[in-house]
Amino acid sequence: MGYQKIVVPADGDKITVNADLSLNVPNFPVIPFIEGDGIGVDITPVMIDVVNAAVDKAYSTKRAITWMEIYAGEKATRVYGPDVWLPEETFEAMREFAVGIKGPLTTPVGGGIRSLNVALRQELDLYTCMRPVRWFEGVPSPVTHPELTDMVIFRENSEDIYAGIEWAADSPEATKLIRFLREEMGVTKIRFPEGCGIGIKPVSREGTQRLVRKAIQYAIDNDKESVTLVHKGNIMKYTEGAFKDWGYELAHERFGATPLDGGPWLTLKNPRTGRDIVIKDVIADAFLQQILMRPADYSVIATLNLNGDYISDALAAEVGGIGIAPGANIGGSVALFEATHGTAPKYAGQDKVNPGSLILSAEMMLRHMGWNEAADLIIRGMEGAIKAKTVTYDFERLMPDATLLSCSAFGKAIVQHME
């Protein structure tokens, strides 16, 4: 199709998606990318160089990625006009090319634009946010045994209070809704009805179960021993509590899980390996202490949007910080890979930060495409650079005798250690 500002490369082919959601990946696929705000300008070019080097080393001239820039955030306002933060054709390009990667995008706190990241996930219905958390040998960590933290977070990405259904205090909408709640719903518990902002938290059976299904399927495919539903259902009974109940319901009805020691935990036999997979739940605050005290008890995590956001950064910290925390937003046929961290504005343009999160997000993207040899090279390169203690500031400040590298030099070190 014709785009206004996006230049579709003439020499690449499109990834297409089959009815069963498997991909047809050509040898020279066009991959759309969003540079991102803040440190996007530093990390995105380094990610592209590292991926190109890995693909070249793995496949020589037989395969290569043709990168295609698409726009969101501040760069979109420069390309399309002052108020265009997320052009419609960015969505169209993602739908057409199916697999892409993005740098971080700024969201102002309070007023101003809503999150462009959330908008991309919602508009493209990228309902699974998958964030693996594992330790790389040699990475400095605040915990004694970082190697015990090996989890994959499945964060629901389309519902919860991230739906953006909220109104400012004293706005006509908030006033109307509060009046409705008090006069027609008999609500007496709004402590200060005047000057009260209000937000809505939608959580559905369908939204919950499509996410939990992905988490359990992942546990089956990757021979994991448990799936934990993390929720705050003791307080928010019909949203967080329902998430837990619907999760267990799906495990039982779709995967045949049965009560373990009388329940509520369930267990199922992995049809691939014959090993047991325990489906359990934990309340979110207790979970945040358990991941520090007993991380080895947890493997695959399924949780709602806000919990998943908090848990992602907390777990990332245990294995060395959000400098190496990757992620993927996956929907039906579209997948958009991105780091867990944000735009870190104080470091923007300094060639300083760790590009590891975005590079490892690209590594997930290569596996999603079936290009595992190139993905393996990225992991080996990353491991090698860290073992050699040639690292960016975030690791260097915690590692005795390490050599401080810039963002781009760390990218080069990763390439040098690909073998």
Contacting residue, 87, 207, 295, 323, with ligand NDP by CB under 6 A: 323
Contacting residue, 122, 354, 361, 390, with ligand NDP by CB under 6 A: 354
- Among the listed residues 309, 352, 394, 412, the single catalytic one is 309
96 binds Mg ion (CB under 5 A): no
CB neighbours of 258 closer than 8 A, spacing ≥ 6? 252, 266, 267, 268
Q: How far is the CB of 332 from ligand NDP (least distance, A)?
A: 21
Residues 103-142 that bind ligand AKG (CB under 6 A): 107, 115, 117-118
340 binds ligand AKG (CB under 6 A): yes
Give the contact letters, 304-333, x = binds to Mg ion (CB under 5 A), - = no: -----x------------------------
Q: Distance of CA 372 to CAs 47, 363, 369, 375, 377, Å?
A: 17, 9, 8, 5, 9
338 binds ligand NDP (CB under 6 A): yes
Q: How far is the CB of 356 from Mg ion (least distance, A)?
A: 16
- Among the listed residues 232, 244, 352, 412, the single catalytic one is 232
Q: How far is the CB of 309 from ligand AKG (least distance, A)?
A: 5
312 binds ligand AKG (CB under 6 A): yes
Structure tokens at 402: 């390490």
Angle, helices 205-221 vs 242-255, to 10°: value is: 50
The count of C-alpha atoms lying within 13 angstroms of the C-alpha of 310, restricted to the half-sphere facing its C-beta, is: 14
Give the contact letters, 79-108, x = binds to ligand AKG (CB under 6 A), - = no: ----------------------------x-
Q: How far is the CB of 134 from ligand AKG (least distance, A)?
A: 18
Residue with Cβ nearer Mg ion (270 or 357): 357
b/e map of 32-60 (b: 16 or more CB within 10 Å)? bbbbbbbbbbbbbbbbbbbbebbbbebee
CA separation for the pair 390, 407 (Å, rounded): 11
| 162 carries an active-site annotation | yes
Contacting residue, 31, 277, 322, 414, with ligand NDP by CB under 6 A: 322
106 binds ligand NDP (CB under 6 A): yes
DSSP 29: B
Q: How far is the CB of 118 from ligand AKG (least distance, A)?
A: 5
CA separation for the pair 152, 144 (Å, rounded): 20
**247 residue type, one letter:** G
Residue with Cβ nearer ligand AKG (112 or 195): 112
User: Alpha carbon 99 to chain centroid distance?
Assistant: 14
CA separation for the pair 132, 5 (Å, rounded): 34
Instruction: Tell me the Ramachandran region of residue 170: left when phi exceeds 0, alpha when psi lies from -120 to 50, beta otherwise.
Output: left
- Among the listed residues 176, 221, 285, 346, the single catalytic one is 285
Bridge partners (DSSP) listed for residue 227: 279, 300
Q: Distance of CA 205 to CAs 247, 302, 303, 305, Å?
A: 9, 14, 13, 14
| 42 carries an active-site annotation | no
Residues 252-311 that bind Mg ion (CB under 5 A): 309
CA separation for the pair 67, 356 (Å, rounded): 19
**333 residue type, one letter:** S
| 285 carries an active-site annotation | yes
Stretch that binds ligand NDP, among 50-58, 189-197, 277-285, 352-360 (CB under 6 A): 352-360
Q: How far is the CB of 156 from ligand AKG (least distance, A)?
A: 12
309 binds ligand AKG (CB under 6 A): yes
CA separation for the pair 187, 192 (Å, rounded): 12
40 binds ligand NDP (CB under 6 A): no
Q: Which ranges of 199-300 does DSSP label H, i.e. alpha helix?
A: 205-221, 242-255, 284-293
Structure tokens at 400: 């005795």
Q: How far is the CB of 342 from ligand NDP (least distance, A)?
A: 2
308 binds ligand NDP (CB under 6 A): no
| 309 carries an active-site annotation | yes
Active site residues: 162, 232, 285, 309
Residues that bind ligand NDP (CB under 6 A): 39, 104-107, 117, 322-323, 338, 341-344, 353-354, 357, 394
